Amino acid sequence: MNKLIETLKNIWKIEDLRNKIIYTLGLVLIYRIGSFIVLPGIDPNALGDLQAQGQGGLLGILNMFVGGSFTRASVFALGIMPYISASIAVQLLTLAVPYFQKLQKEGESGRRKITQMTRYLTIIVTAVQGIGYITFLNSIAGNAIVIPSKFLFAVSTMIVLTAGTVFCMWLGEKITDRGIGNGISLLIMIGIIANLPFGLSAELQSKLAGGGGGLIFFLIEIAIFVAIVFVTVLLIQGVRRIPVEYARRIVGNKQYGGVRQFIPLRVNASGVMPIIFAQALMFIPSFVGQLAPESAIGQSLATGEYYYSFWYNALFFILVVLFTYFYTALIINPNQMAEDMKRNNGFIPGVKPGKSTADFIDNVLSKITLPGAIALGIIAILPVFANMAGVNPRFADFFGGTSLLILVAVVLDTLQQIESHLLMRHYDGLMKGGTRIKGRASGAVGASV
């Protein structure tokens, strides 16, 4: 406790860090206040049916990402999610379209152009998702709409939703530029944290109710939850360096020895981005269901049958594994690594420089990525197993899945930035005994987009 108090005092002593934290908290407060401002023409007291739809399943996950704004029919109902979708689309274009690849290599000017394109695409995505949300509102919460003209309500709501998403995007960028942590990631994390107390409360009430198992079962669940968080932290931090002799064993070359050397590879090089990519694709049916709430897929989303089905989770698992390899290939180029090593007179003992080194690194990377990909896939579908075990749906979503991975990744990344400020001013870090927090900036949502 004394160590914590001393660290907090040190943080407050550093004026630059103190101002960054206060600035970040101020913008986060604005974001949370906006999530409670209801859309014009909506009676907030008549949104019971809409709130019931967002208690669990895929709509529950979407509602969690936007801090409950979805079911409150807030001006931030779509939150930052259109920006995330647009960013993912632009990242995919950088792999398939030569023009975007050229922009990516142009340095700061190219990045500015890509950022501008992402913003324009965000507005287009918001418009498409806004149509679905308006249709969903008319179907589920039509009695809450007090504007007689449906056309006037649709136009005004579309404008407000677009402005709300653009404002959230601006808040995130300002936090990144002048605050602490990655702004886009922090906004999503705040929305997730805002739902955690309600999930805990719902689970406690269900366990204390008759036949729920009582307080003992609740404490066991909390212990399991803490264990899953611990495993997730280890997965996000990953192995930072692979010993050369172990790398040789991985590729089947038993000849090793000499000075102990390392290759800068990770078991989980992609962070949480694969699960974000996969979840974005799995959200597509939810927008289709919003456009046609009375359809089979709309009813399946409403009941949660789609989210808890075998095929949904099997496909989700496969997509996470595939995207892990995809994103790892996107951020790690074995040929570039081999070329950099050769240029700096570095080498892997027993491996020829150039193509042989690139093939060696690629072989090692492909094999060590597999356990990390499988682990990410398992964590992604853990909430469904928690629900099958009797955990309340609102709390089950925190037993792994996208929400927990984002939460852990963003917290680690933010704490790492704070620790860096402390160490630069010759203060002790956040961890006792000199242990460094290993953040994963590229794994945090929005950090690489």
Q: Which residue from 48, 47, 54 is spatially nearest to 302, judged by alpha carbons? A: 54
CA distance 53 to 68: 12
- Four-CA torsion 11, 14, 20, 26, nearest 10 degrees: 60
Element housing 263 (H / E) = strand 262-263
Provide the pLDDT for residue 445.
46
SS3 content of the chain, % helix, strand, coil (to 5): 70, 0, 25
Cβ burial 15-29 (10 Å sphere, 16+ → b, else e): eebeebbebbeebbe
CA distance 104 to 186: 25
The residue type of 312 is Y
Hey, how many other C-beta atoms are within 10 angstroms of the C-beta on 297?
16
Provide the pLDDT for residue 437.
57
CA distance 262 to 68: 46
Hey, how many other C-beta atoms are within 10 angstroms of the C-beta on 104?
17
Provide the pLDDT for residue 439.
54
Q: Which residue from 184, 228, 165, 177 is spatially nearest to 395, judged by alpha carbons? A: 228
Hey, how many other C-beta atoms are within 10 angstroms of the C-beta on 346?
13
Provide the pLDDT for residue 296.
67
- Classify residue 292 by its DSSP letter: -
Q: Which residue from 327, 395, 280 is spatially nearest to 95, judged by alpha carbons? A: 327
In the numeric block, which tokens belong to residue 412? 């680690």
CA distance 195 to 177: 27
* Contact indicator for 178, 417 with CB cutoff of 8 Å: no
Provide the pLDDT for residue 160.
94
In the numeric block, which tokens belong to residue 202? 């719902």
Provide the pLDDT for residue 76.
92
In the numeric block, which tokens belong to residue 428? 């002790």
Mean pLDDT in runs of 10 for the chain (449 residues)?
A: 72 84 93 92 82 71 84 89 86 80 81 89 90 85 82 91 93 90 87 86 83 82 88 72 57 49 66 77 72 66 72 88 83 80 74 81 81 86 85 82 83 83 68 53 43
Classify burial at 310, counting beta carbons within 10 Å of its beta carbon; exposed 0-12, middle 13-18, buried 19 or more: exposed
In the numeric block, which tokens belong to residue 60? 């529950």
In the numeric block, which tokens belong to residue 57? 């399943």
Longest dimension (CA), the chain: 80
In angstroms, what CA-CA distances link 397 with 200, 342, 404? 11, 47, 8
CA distance 448 to 146: 42
DSSP string, 161-195: HHHHHHHHHHHHHHHHHHSSS-HHHHHHHHHHHHH
Provide the pLDDT for residue 264.
63
CA angle 408, 184, 61 (to 5 degrees): 60
The SS3 call for residue 42 is: strand
**Domain 2-443: homologous superfamily in CATH:** SecY subunit domain (1.10.3370.10)
The SS3 call for residue 232 is: helix
CA quadruple 43, 44, 48, 51: dihedral sign: positive
DSSP string, 48-92: HHHHHHTSSHHHHHHHHHTTTTTTTTBTTTTTTHHHHHHHHHHHH
Alpha carbons within 13 angstroms on the beta-carbon side of residue 163 total 10
The SS3 call for residue 337 is: helix
